[in-house]
Homo-oligomer: A and B are copies of this chain.
Amino acid sequence: MSFPELAGQLAEVGLQFYQRGWALGTSGNFSAVVNRDPLRLAITSSGVDKATIAVGDIVEIDDRGKVVAGSGRPSAEASIHLAIVQARRTGAVLHTHSIWSTILSDAATGDGLALEGYEMLKGLDGVGTHEHREWLPILENTQDWAAAAPRIEAMLSRQPNAHGFLIRRHGLYTWGRNLAEAKRHVEALEFLFEVMGRKET
């Protein structure tokens, strides 16, 4: 799919997540692979308000984060997107910043969150039964994601089966072969976060 088409779809996803309260203000960022080799990624610009996100708020970057089309700086978390796309060979990466992912990532005492025994887990690619244990690693938050890229790569390598991960008090990263699958992963995981969060209160 072309960069303009993917940019339109990313903007649409952004508006929908904004409506649900999963990307208020400038929070959240979203990307999709335009080309594999050489790698070209459509990604939300830095500081874009998701209430009014539009096609012009998406830029195209290369594998080093350099803008090759569109205007604006790529999201400060572009290096996370690039690390995921290279480690998992996915087609889209979505980062939401919801109430429940913020609360659960904060409350979890260990270095991850387990989701187990729920039918909704079947919303995750390759999971065919509720008898599945999904382990979502939790990374500590930072403001220097370029420096943290090796930490993310190591985690993705250690956890080859994880469908996503949390950043402490910051939210969720998940991905999929295409944008529709990544969006389905967001919905399944956010649903499970809300179930877990409401159970514990």
A binding-site residues for B, Cβ under 8 Å:
16, 21, 24-27, 49, 51-52, 97, 99, 102-103, 106-107, 117-120, 122-123, 128-131, 141, 143, 167, 169-171, 180, 183-185, 187-188, 190-191, 194-195, 197-199, 201
Contacts and interface: CB of A to CB of B under 8 A. Distances in A.
A102 B120 contact: yes
A190 B25 CA distance: 10
Given A103-B199, A118-B102, A187 B123 contact: no
Number of copies of this kind of chain in the complex: 4
Contacts of A118: 102, 169-170
A123 B25 contact: yes
Contacts of A184: 25-26, 49
Given A49-B180, A183-B51, A187-B24, A119 B169 contact: yes
Contact of A201 (B170, B194, B201): B201
A172 to B, nearest CB: 12
11 contacts: A16-B51, A24-B187, A25-B188, A26-B184, A27-B120, A27-B123, A49-B183, A99-B191, A128-B143, A130-B170, A131-B143
Nearest to A117: B169
A52 B178 CA distance: 15
A182 B28 CA distance: 19
